[in-house]
Structure 1
Amino acid sequence: MAKAASSPIRQRSRSSDRSARAQVDAGTRAALIQNQGDRRDMLCSGLALAVKIGLISLGAVSLVRLSMAYQERLDRHGELAAVVDVETNKLHGLQQRFDRLFTLGGRDRLMGEQDQWIAPNRLRVIWR
């Protein structure tokens, strides 16, 4: 026996079911695509935030290290300035002594400074 052809009402209902399913599938796909886009946006935002936090922390650490190095340099400069002051004072004292020795009467002053010399006709006594 030959099968009877489907009724036109049944064919319409099948096609309407397909279109309804297609609309539901299209809505579901759109929601999935939107959800994937949101996830991608969140991932990109999280990566950008991590990079920014990393750069800020790197800058802060560098700034702290630079400030410590600058403080150390200031300390060294203070030490060197103190040494320079001491040596400058020594230099001024030696310049004054040199000037006193090479002016009039400088020979007598030099002989007066040399107290370890023994005067003529004297005997040196060394105590042990």
Structure 2
Amino acid sequence: MNSRQDDLKQDLDAALQTRKELGKEYEAEIVDSFLTRLDARIDAQVDQRVADGLAQHGVGDGRRGGRGGWSSAGRLPVVSLVLAIPLTGIAAGANLTGMIVCWAGIVGVNVAAAVGARAEQRNARPGRSDWN
């Protein structure tokens, strides 16, 4: 038997001993408590197996913008273009210089985000440190 089965057997033995000590009046609570612990154990095993399967197939957890998710670096260009439309209208109302400054700011933010995302990816590689 492995350790998980030993732990489960010990939990079941403890529940049975508790039932013997407390009597039949507390049987429902004892069973509920045991089943709650069993459910938590099953959930943990399923979560671990799913995480292992995702890692085996190279799918991230979404925090770094894996295959299924949008990273912050992927959202920023879309958001900045959506915001660029009203900003351009406001800036063009002043003069051409205002519009150029507006677009220079939009481009600057996107370039900075792209450079930062690239540096983060480079540093996230295994065996990589800040000193390399």
Fold similarity call, TM over 0.5: no
With normalisation by structure 2, the TM-score equals 0.31
Structure number with the bigger relative contact order (C-alpha 8 A, sep ≥ 6) is 2
With normalisation by structure 1, the TM-score equals 0.32
- Rg larger for: 1
